[in-house]
């Protein structure tokens, strides 16, 4: 009888444990990673002295047990599962739902919605694929100068997988800038427009784990066969297999055979191919053969546009002033912006009678704002590039010695900003500008003086600073 009660509450325990896990994840990245795995848990039930979590594939069990069994067990214990019950992950076929097995809500959702087909192809013949995040679509991706090139390439690939010269498409950029989102958008698009195409989305970490498993189980041919069947291979975070020669070689072979059959490959990485350390030369060569695109940090306008789009999705009415405040203060990457928005939204839901003011927002976001202060310096190169683009001149113009006023102002402005926005020494700045200390100091001082009397110049500078993801107040103290 006792067991029966527990069985009835297995779903409740599950819900509570998952909420708890969501709360305790240390970083937004960890949380988003975990969200991705949830759909893989297809059932949970209480059997004898165990809390049994069902997955559809053995390799999901092998791969998720070490990661999740213990945290999940701890979470379940904290929400009321008796301590003598242990968590076990096992393979459960979906059709053999026994009376004691509660399908997980994720499964129920997948069954009920149109989203089903997004998961189904993953489970057909290509067990290695991870489910695509529902909202990582092109529709939800906000375009801006920092990502428009990558976006255009991704769209082209999605419309004609394997049929463009963008093969592989290699997307790189710092963390939280939208690489995975864009990659999965390609997956969604292909699945939506061609039901027969098999899309495989995996991280290079998973690829590595599977490869290791395949060797241990003596099933390398089956592993290879599976990957050779894929129409679109989306390999996320390739930098993870740096220094792992064997798996690089395996990937090289997979890569080679897919390209040979005009299958599409998309790769993401935190650095450009040529900056990938501890990678085989020939693999780097391959990565550069298609199209290499960078996603950069979003400008103030793009950050604000992303915020507005995400805010709309929350269906809460957030004052524009607050959105601007976030866009101004959270500049590092989009994931941090989402984190900030989530905190604001939580506050609004829980304290619906208190009007949200800037002061409250400041307080809620104090940790993130503090963290932002430690973001690494802008490079002098970035500054020259942004200033040159703003004034419609080239970096060569900035570095030249021509004394026409159209060049002197931008040049001096770049010097001024290099002093204000980087921690580089005067010597380093002088070296990069190929000028003397005195010239740099004079240039920076000239701008400082003009600022007080030329509102137009001040406006321009503010604009340039925002384009670099900084705040006007960083330089105008
Ligand atoms: P990366 O893979 O580069 O670390 P992600 O693709 O995981 O970054 O993006 C982090 C978060 O930011 C995701 O929730 C994603 O939806 C969001 N995001 C990033 N860029 C954009 C964008 N241009 N428009 C909308 N959302 C974005
Ligand atoms: Mg990513």
pLDDT at 477: 58
C-alpha 409 – ligand 1 centre gap (Å) = 36
pLDDT at 240: 92
* Confidence bin at 121 (pLDDT 50/70/90): very low
**CA atoms of 197 and 193, how far apart (whole Å):** 9
Which ranges constitute the DSSP H helices of 176-319? 179-193, 204-216, 220-228, 245-260, 281-287, 300-314
The tens digit of pLDDT for each residue in 312-325 reads: 998 889 999 999 99
In the block, residue with structure tokens 């040529």: 274
Cβ(5)–Cβ(100) below 8 Å: no
**CA atoms of 232 and 126, how far apart (whole Å):** 11
Output the DSSP codes for 30-82: HHHHHHHHGGGEEEEEEETTEEEEEESSHHHHHHHIIIIIHHHHHHHHHTT--
pLDDT at 375: 64
C-alpha 82 – ligand 1 centre gap (Å) = 39
Percent of the chain with pLDDT over 70: 88
C-alpha 203 – ligand 2 centre gap (Å) = 9
Q: Which residues pair with 53 in a beta bridge?
A: 44, 89
Q: Is the per-residue pLDDT at 103 higher than 80?
A: no
Q: Is the per-residue pLDDT at 118 higher than 50?
A: no
C-alpha 177 – ligand 1 centre gap (Å) = 5
Cβ(292) to ligand 1 under 6 A? no
The H or E element that residue 199 is part of is strand 199-203
**Which residue minimizes the CA distance to atom 21 of ligand 1?**
178
Mean pLDDT of 27-40: 72
The tens digit of pLDDT for each residue in 426-458 reads: 888 999 999 999 999 999 999 999 988 998 999
Q: Which atom of ligand 1 is nearest to the CA of 177?
A: 3
387 or 424, which is more confident: 387
In the block, residue with structure tokens 């004079």: 442
Q: Which atom of ligand 1 is nearest to the CA of 136?
A: 16
Q: Which two tokens stand for residue 333?
A: 């990457």
Q: Which residues pair with 169 in a beta bridge?
A: 266, 291
Q: Which atom of ligand 1 is nearest to the CA of 181?
A: 6
Pairing mode, if any, of strands 50-55 and 41-47? antiparallel
Cα-Cα-Cα-Cα dihedral sign, residues 413, 414, 419, 421: positive
The tens digit of pLDDT for each residue in 387-419 reads: 998 899 999 999 999 999 899 999 999 999 998
Q: Give Cα 236 distance to the centre of its chain.
A: 10
pLDDT at 376: 53
**CA atoms of 405 and 235, how far apart (whole Å):** 50
Q: Any idea what the Cα angle at residue 261 is, between residues 260 and 266, rounded to 5°? A: 80
Pairing mode, if any, of strands 102-103 and 41-47? antiparallel
**Using CB atoms within 10 A of its CB, is residue 284 exposed (0-12), middle (13-18) or buried (19+)?**
middle
pLDDT at 78: 79
Q: Is the per-residue pLDDT at 267 higher than 70?
A: yes
Mutate which of 27, 145, 154, 177 for ligand 1 pocket (most atoms within 8 A of beta carbon): 177
pLDDT at 128: 57
Strand stretches in 223-290, DSSP E: 232-236, 264-269
Mutate which of 142, 334, 340, 342 for ligand 1 pocket (most atoms within 8 A of beta carbon): 334
**Which residue minimizes the CA distance to atom 11 of ligand 1?**
335
Question: What pTM does this model have?
Answer: 0.65
Residue 369: DSSP 8-state: H
Q: Which atom of ligand 1 is nearest to the CA of 337?
A: 12
* Confidence bin at 108 (pLDDT 50/70/90): very low
The tens digit of pLDDT for each residue in 340-372 reads: 999 999 899 888 888 899 999 999 999 888 887
| CA proximity to 224, closest of 243, 204, 201, 207 | 207
Least confident of 125-134, 174-183, 279-288: 125-134
pLDDT at 473: 72
114 or 431, which is more confident: 431
**CA atoms of 177 and 146, how far apart (whole Å):** 9
288 or 452, which is more confident: 288
* Confidence bin at 45 (pLDDT 50/70/90): confident
Give CA separation, 301 vs 15, 313, 326, 339, in Å: 38, 19, 12, 18
Strand stretches in 253-310, DSSP E: 264-269, 291-294
**CA atoms of 194 and 191, how far apart (whole Å):** 5
C-alpha 10 – ligand 2 centre gap (Å) = 33
pLDDT at 28: 67
Q: Which two tokens stand for residue 220?
A: 């390398």
Residues 6 or more apart whose Cβ sits within 8 Å of residue 372: 329, 330, 331, 332, 336
């Amino acid at each position: 009888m006792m067991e029966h009660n527990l069985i009835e509450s297995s779903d409740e325990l599950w819900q509570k444990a998952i909420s708890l896990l969501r709360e305790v994840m240390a970083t937004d990245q960890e949380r988003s990673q975990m969200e991705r795995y949830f759909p893989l848990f297809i059932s949970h039930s209480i059997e004898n002295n165990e809390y049994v979590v069902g997955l559809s594939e053995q390799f999901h069990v092998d791969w998720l047990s070490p990661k999740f069994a213990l945290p999940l067990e701890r979470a379940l214990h904290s929400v009321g599962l008796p301590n003598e019950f242990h968590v076990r992950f096992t393979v459960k076929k979906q059709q053999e739902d026994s009376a004691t097995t509660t399908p997980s809500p994720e499964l129920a959702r997948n069954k009920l919605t149109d989203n089903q087909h997004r998961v189904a192809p993953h489970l057909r013949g290509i067990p290695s694929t991870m489910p695509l995040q529902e909202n990582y679509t092109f529709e939800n991706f906000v375009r801006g100068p920092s990502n428009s090139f990558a976006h255009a390439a991704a769209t082209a690939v999605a419309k004609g997988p394997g049929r463009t010269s963008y093969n592989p498409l290699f997307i790189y950029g710092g963390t939280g800038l939208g690489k995975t989102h864009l990659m999965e958008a390609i997956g969604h698009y292909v699945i939506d427009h061609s039901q027969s195409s098999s899309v495989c989305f995996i991280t290079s970490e998973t690829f590595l784990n599977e490869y290791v498993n395949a060797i241990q189980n003596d099933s390398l041919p089956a592993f290879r066969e599976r990957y050779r069947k894929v129409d679109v291979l989306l390999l996320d975070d390739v930098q993870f297999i740096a220094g792992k020669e064997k798996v690089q070689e395996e990937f090289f072979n997979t890569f080679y055979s897919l390209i040979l059959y005009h299958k599409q490959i998309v790769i993401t990485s935190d650095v450009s191919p040529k900056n990938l350390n501890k990678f085989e030369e020939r693999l780097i060569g391959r990565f550069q053969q298609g199209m290499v695109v960078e996603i950069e940090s979003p400008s103030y306008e793009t950050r604000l546009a992303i915020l507005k789009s995400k805010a709309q999705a929350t269906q809460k009415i957030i004052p524009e002033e607050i959105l601007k405040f976030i866009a101004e203060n959270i500049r590092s990457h989009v994931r941090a912006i989402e984190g900030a928005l989530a905190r604001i939204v939580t506050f609004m839901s829980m304290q619906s009678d208190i009007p949200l003011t800037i002061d409250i927002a400041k307080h809620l976001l104090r940790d993130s704002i503090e963290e932002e202060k430690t973001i690494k310096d802008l490079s002098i190169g970035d500054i020259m590039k942004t200033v040159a683009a703003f004034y419609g001149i080239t970096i060569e113009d900035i570095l030249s010695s021509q004394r026409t006023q159209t060049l002197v102002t931008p040049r001096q402005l770049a010097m001024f900003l290099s002093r204000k926005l980087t921690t580089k020494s005067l010597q380093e700045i002088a070296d990069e500008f190929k000028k003397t200390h005195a010239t740099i100091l004079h240039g920076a001082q000239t701008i400082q003086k003009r600022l007080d009397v030329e509102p137009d110049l001040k406006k321009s500078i503010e604009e340039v600073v925002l384009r670099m993801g900084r705040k006007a107040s960083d330089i105008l103290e």
